[in-house]
Amino acid sequence: MTISKTHPTTIKNCKCLVIGVGVSGLVTAKELLEVGIEEVTILEKNESLGGVWQTHAWASATLTSSKWITEFGSFPMPDDYPDFPTPEQMMDYLQVFAQRFDLEKRIHLGITVEAIQRNNTGGYDVITDRGIYQGYTFVVVCSGLHGKPSIPAIPGLEGFQETVIHGQSYQKPDLFRDKRVLCIGLGESAVGISSEISSVAAQTSLSGSSFASISPG
């Protein structure tokens, strides 16, 4: 369905449901309201907004992109934020963003979406663990890319007797003190976590399927 600002009646009659209240869900809801869609509902399975910043950040993490390119153009980050904010600061920023653009009353927390189906009017019904949200013109899925950890099938891993964790579960390096550690992956989180582990581990090795340029922090 195509919606144009030149057809306000069509826009006004639309109902939109947004799944996820992380960065993409919040800004999507804000933009939908600004083009004139009055009925916007946002569902989130967790008990607070924030997406990965609320669920997956480790204790000493900071953003890997500066605040100048992370902030929304319509809502700059506070002047007193450091160049690379902490997850707590990012969460505060998103909370104030939701307040500023009147999104809080539209957010339904602690609700898991189980299915989306077409109804007999051509719209969508969204089935959740707390009932059915009916009659939406369209649904925007903003659940993100990092909700579930992905651990590759590595021969022999199931028989490994030492500690194996995914980066999603990492909080502090203490668990790896004086140990030999292999960090698999060269993404942003992997580089940050392996750098921190190397400060306490006896030896830290990196493994990746492709080369990435890494500079010490």
pLDDT at position 153 is 84
Question: Distance between CA atoms of 194 and 196, rounded to whole angstroms?
Answer: 5
- Say which residue the tokens 């189980």 belong to: 114
pLDDT at position 74 is 92
Bridge partners of 131? Answer: 128
Question: Distance between CA atoms of 132 and 114, rounded to whole angstroms?
Answer: 10
Nearest to 202 by CA among 216, 186, 182: 182
Q: Which domains does the chain have, with CATH numbers?
A: 8-141 (3.50.50.60), 157-207 (3.50.50.60)
The structure tokens listed for 189 are 């989180």
pLDDT at position 115 is 97
CA dihedral of 106, 113, 145, 74, whole degrees rounded to 10: -10
CB 139 within 8 A of CB 126: yes
Question: Distance between CA atoms of 110 and 97, rounded to whole angstroms?
Answer: 20
pLDDT at position 64 is 82
Whole-angstrom Cα Rg for the chain: 21
**What one-character DSSP code corresponds to residue 75?**
B
Its sign, for the CA torsion 137, 142, 148, 149, is positive
Provide the strand spans (E) within 58-104.
Answer: none
pLDDT at position 211 is 63
pLDDT at position 35 is 92
**Residue at 170: amino acid letter:** Y
Question: Distance between CA atoms of 198 and 173, rounded to whole angstroms?
Answer: 8
**Tens place of pLDDT for every residue, the chain, 217 residues?**
444 444 444 677 899 999 999 999 999 999 999 999 989 999 999 999 988 777 777 888 888 889 999 999 999 999 999 999 998 999 999 999 999 999 999 999 999 999 999 999 889 999 999 999 999 999 999 998 776 777 888 888 888 888 888 888 888 999 999 999 999 888 888 888 999 999 999 999 988 877 655 554 4
pLDDT at position 213 is 55
pLDDT at position 10 is 67
CB 134 within 8 A of CB 125: yes
